[in-house]
Amino acid sequence: MSRHHGHLGAAFVERLLADDDRPSLLQDFAGVRAQFTEDNAQAGRVADRFAVIALAGEMAIGYGLLPWTPGSALADCQRLYGEWLSRVGCGNAEDRQILAGVVDFIDKHGSSRFSDVNDQTPDTKVFNRAGYWELMGTKRLYLFNKSGLVEAAHGYGLSRVVKALEGAGVLTRRDSERKTKNYRLPGGGQARLYVLDTEAMDIEGGGV
């Protein structure tokens, strides 16, 4: 490796530029990509990457740059992709990361950055508010504001976070045709808040 590292890459690029056949390259990629199946957008993006690696490997074999049997690069990439799928499961790992982030955020800040939305006396102990909570029977629902929800989900965009929450059946008590519910706030004023039923989350079970 110390003597020959980097030689193959340069030789591969030289052959690729010499061929200069973009239509055939795109056609070959489409054929390889079709052999990687997926059931969600994240798996599709990962499959794209494995397909690129597989195609490059097969092309290097065809160029005589790798002493491997034709088809072996594709087979190895399919095997690795299969291992990735088995580790991630049938759900979307990004969704699980978002949900786990929300659960962790509530565990850490549930008593310091949220307060009872029905207590009309403003809670002056809450700084950098992420939202409120309310009781529905014995169940506590968390009412996130926009900035709190994005922060809890480790920086994912708001629309991506909401999509994950909807897919998991976590959003509840929404006003008609909206993702949020309008609340009258302690101390006056109103706000539209994202109402989360955290008991609906199934992170470890792979249901999301």
**What rounded mean pLDDT belongs to the chain?**
89
pLDDT at 110 over 50: yes
Higher per-residue pLDDT: 3 or 92: 3
- Looking up tokens 């926009």, which residue turns up? 146
pLDDT at 13 over 80: yes
pLDDT band at 207 (very low <50, low <70, confident <90, very high): very low
| Number of domains comprising the chain | 2
**Mean pLDDT, to the nearest integer, of 49-71?**
96
The predicted structure's pLDDT at residue 90: 56
- Looking up tokens 């800040």, which residue turns up? 109
Residue 208 lies in a domain: no
Please identify, among 88, 122, 143, the residue that sits at the C-terminal boundary of a domain: 88
The percentage of the chain sitting over the pLDDT mark of 90, rounded to a whole number, equals 63
Please identify, among 59, 88, 117, the residue that sits at the C-terminal boundary of a domain: 88
Using alpha carbons only, what angle is made at residue 67 by residues 74 and 28, rounded to the nearest 5 degrees?
A: 35
Residues 82 and 139 in one domain: no
Q: Beta-strand (E) ranges in the chain?
A: 131-136, 139-144, 181-184, 190-196
The predicted structure's pLDDT at residue 206: 40
Global pTM value: 0.58
Residues 84 and 98 in one domain: no
